[in-house]
Amino acid sequence: MLTINLIREQASSVIERLKIKNFDATEIVGNVLDLDRRRRELQTESDSIQAELNSLSREIGSMMKEGRKDEAEAARRGIGAMKDKQKQLADTLEEVTRKMQDELVRLPNLPHTLVTPGRSAEENVVVRSGGVVPELHAGAVPHWDLIKKYDIIDFDLGIKITGAGFPVYKGKGARLQRALINFFLDEGEKAGYREIEPPIVVNEDSGFGTGQLPDKEGQMYHVGIDNLYMIPTAEVPITNIYRDVILDAAELPVRNMGYTPCFRREAGSWGAHVRGLNRLHQFDKVEIVQIAHPDRSYDSLEEMVSHVESLLVKLELPYRIVRLCGGDMSFTSAMTYDFEVWSAAQQRWLEVSSTSNFEAFQANRLKCRFREKGAKQTTLCHTLNGSALALPRIVAALLENNQTPEGIKMPAILVPYTGFALIS
RNA sequence: GGAGAAAUGGCAGAGUGGUCGAUUGCGGCGGUCUUGAAAACCGUUGUCCGGGCGACUGGACCGGGGGUUCGAAUCCCUCUUUCUCCGCCA
Identify the pLDDT of residue A130: 94
Phi/psi of residue A367, each to 5°?
Answer: 55, 50
Q: How far apart are CA A343 and CA A330, in angstroms?
A: 24
pLDDT < 50: residue spans in chain A: none
Total residues found in chain A within this entry: 424
User: Closest nucleotide to residue A79 (Cα to C1')?
Assistant: B70
**What class does CATH assign to A121-423?**
alpha beta
pLDDT tens by residue, A237-275: 999 999 999 898 888 899 999 999 999 987 666 665 678
pLDDT of residue A345: 86
Q: Which of chain B's bases lie under 7 Å from a protein CB?
A: 18-19, 29, 47-51, 58-60, 70-71
Q: A79: Cβ under 7 Å from strand B? A: yes
Asked if residue A194 lies in contact with residue A256, where contact means CB atoms within 8 angstroms, the answer is yes
The pLDDT score that the predictor gives to residue A225 is 79
Q: In what order do the strands lie in the sheet with A222-223?
A: A201-202, A228-230, A222-223
Q: What is the pLDDT of residue A273?
A: 66
Q: Which fold has domain A4-104?
A: Helix Hairpins (1.10.287)
Q: Where in chain A is the domain with CATH 1.10.287?
A: 4-104
Instruction: Note the CA–C1' distance, A83 to B75, in angstroms.
Output: 21
pLDDT of residue A359: 96
Residue range(s) of every CATH 3.30.930.10 domain in chain A: 121-423
Torsion angle defined by CA atoms of residues A211, A212, A215 and A221, in that order, rounded to the nearest 10 degrees: -170
Residues 29-58 of chain A within 7 A of strand B, judged by CB, are 36, 40, 43-44, 46-48, 50-51, 53-58
Crossing angle of helices A172-190/A391-401, nearest 10°? 110
The separation, in Å, between residue A250 CA and nucleotide B42 C1' comes to 29
Q: How far is CA A359 from CA A16, A229, A242, A277, A402, in A?
A: 18, 25, 15, 32, 39
